[in-house]
């Protein structure tokens, strides 16, 4: 099996996929961050292609940063200044480069959760 990394963002405040949400993927080695990818979610709340796949998918520590503040401000809701949630970093490790790692995010302006999906 070829390893890959995917994500899916669901807007729990509006009960829909979070389309148009910007995110960045970083690799962390020896406390140094290397930017691997900047992208956004499609109408289904997913990226159009895996974030990492095949040779680019390696054992290590990574961080996905989801720009949820800008996403929710797009709805024009009455949100506080500063925002309660703006940038959500999720740091995770990849231990098996031959596996599928899926990092979903369920989010509202006030809360979020994640898990290792399938």
Q: Is 46 annotated as a binding residue?
A: yes
- Please answer whether residues 48 and 20 qualify as being in contact, where contact means their C-beta atoms are separated by less than 8 angstroms: no
Q: Is 101 annotated as a binding residue?
A: no
Q: Is 33 annotated as a binding residue?
A: no
- Please answer whether residues 45 and 18 qualify as being in contact, where contact means their C-beta atoms are separated by less than 8 angstroms: yes
- Please answer whether residues 73 and 84 qualify as being in contact, where contact means their C-beta atoms are separated by less than 8 angstroms: no
* Beta pairing partners, 51: none
In DSSP notation, 7-73 reads EEEEETTTTEE-TT-EEEEEEEETTEEEEEEEEE--TTSB-SS-SEEGGG--SEEEEEEEEHHHHHH
- Residues belonging to the binding site are 8, 46, 115
- Residues belonging to the binding site for substrate are 8, 46, 115
């Amino acid at each position: 099996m070829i390893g890959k990394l995917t994500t899916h963002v669901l807007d729990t405040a509006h009960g829909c996929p979070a389309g148009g949400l910007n995110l960045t993927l970083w690799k962390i080695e020896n406390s140094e961050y290397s930017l691997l990818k900047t992208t956004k979610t499609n109408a289904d709340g997913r990226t159009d292609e895996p974030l990492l796949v095949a040779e680019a998918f390696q054992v290590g520590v990574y961080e996905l940063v989801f720009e949820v503040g800008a996403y929710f401000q797009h709805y024009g809701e009455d949100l506080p200044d500063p925002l309660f949630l703006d940038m959500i970093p999720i740091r995770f490790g990849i231990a098996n480069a031959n596996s599928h790692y899926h990092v979903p995010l369920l989010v509202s302006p006030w809360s979020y959760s994640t898990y290792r999906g399938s």
